Amino acid sequence: MIPRSLPGMLVLGALFAAAAPAQSAPDGKQISAQGANGAPACITCHGARGEGNPAAGFPQLAGMGGRYLEEQLNAMANGSRVSPVMAATAKALDPAQRQAVAQYYAALPSTLDTDQLAATAMHPSKPADTGAWLATRGAWDKNVPACNQCHGPGGIGVGENFPALAGQPAAYIAGQLRAWRQGQRPPGPLGLMPAVATRLSESEIDAVSAYYAGLPTAAAQLAAQANAPAGAKQ
Ligand code: HEC
Ligand code: HEC
């Protein structure tokens, strides 16, 4: 029925205005798939599911904290986090677009098998296995807690502030630890990571980065062994 009265027309007008607002909120999914303001589509590097690309060194984004991702985009845009690859992309997006695309990736399910990964935390490691030892035990002689204590068992990430490490490219993890040592990344919550990174040696950085990069594969192997029928163990 077509309203003839003036109030009826006003109601209809308001409905149309609400359906097609002049300034629509940015669409994070669309930015990820198509880019925006000249910034390239995120999926070309970070993958269609936000899973990243270990071979190319592109980190996974799916399931990370939304505030964390937004803060990283802001830091790469203002240069306090030095990233030659991401700077122009982060700068091209306006703050509302950065927030929208961060929220989009935060809401995507992580591609990690968190049960398998968490089980690796119970697997005994030896001090000589530097990466595994740092991840599960830390280096208390120099006040470095186990990485898993903050990043979760198996490096699966915890809540908004502690990003997942499992499956991130080794070069990426090592690059971030060195960036903190060189003041090329903001300190983050309570300055926790600069404190950790400055206490690690170069070879410890490489070892723990390789450990987390390889952890999804190692976790799948451990799970397969545990599930093997009795007598089939090697
Ligand atoms: C050309 C490839 C490429 C494209 C396109 C790209 N990224 Fe990145 N992204 C990277 C690389 C490489 C890094 C690691 C940065 C570093 O080493 O400093 C990164 C890092 C990030 C991080 C930090 C992740 C973390 O764990 O701290 C976020 C967030 C991010 N990108 C979001 C985006 C978004 C959103 C888009 C699309 C608008 C996008 N990226 C497009 C390559 C790319
Ligand atoms: C006391 C808590 C704590 C401990 C222990 C800790 N981290 Fe972190 N880590 C954090 C926090 C908080 C962040 C997020 C920093 C930010 O927001 O910039 C972080 C971020 C990171 C990142 C960046 C991830 C990304 O997506 O860019 C890496 C890499 C990392 N930590 C590696 C390690 C390693 C390796 C260890 C063990 C040697 C470790 N962390 C131990 C708290 C911790």
In the block, tokens 């198996």 appear at 154
Whether the predicted pLDDT of 81 surpasses 70: yes
Pocket test for ligand 1, best of 31, 37, 45 (most atoms within 8 A of CB): 45
Distances from the Cα of 190 to the Cαs of 97, 129, 220, in angstroms? 27, 29, 34
Q: Using the 8-state DSSP alphabet, how is residue 32 labeled?
A: H
The pLDDT value given to residue 188: 97
Per the CB < 8 A criterion, the answer to whether 134 and 59 are in contact is no
| pLDDT per residue as tens digits for the range 165-191 | 999 999 999 999 999 999 999 999 999
Q: What is the pTM of this model?
A: 0.91
Task: Print burial letters for 101-118: b (CB count within 10 Å at least 16), e (below 16).
Answer: bbbbbbebebebbbebbb
Q: Where are the domains of the chain?
A: 28-107, 114-226
| pLDDT per residue as tens digits for the range 8-50 | 445 444 444 444 444 689 999 999 999 999 999 999 999 999 9
Average pLDDT value for the chain? 91
Domain 28-107 fold is Cytochrome Bc1 Complex; Chain D, domain 2 (1.10.760)
CATH classification number, 114-226, choose in 1.10.760.10, 1.10.150.120, 2.60.40.1180, 3.30.450.70: 1.10.760.10
Tell me if 123 is assigned to a ligand binding site. Answer: no
Tell me if 1 is assigned to a ligand binding site. Answer: no
234 C-alpha to center of ligand 2: Å? Answer: 36
Torsion of CA 15, 19, 21, 22, to 10 degrees: -100
The pLDDT value given to residue 20: 47
157 C-alpha to center of ligand 1: Å? Answer: 18
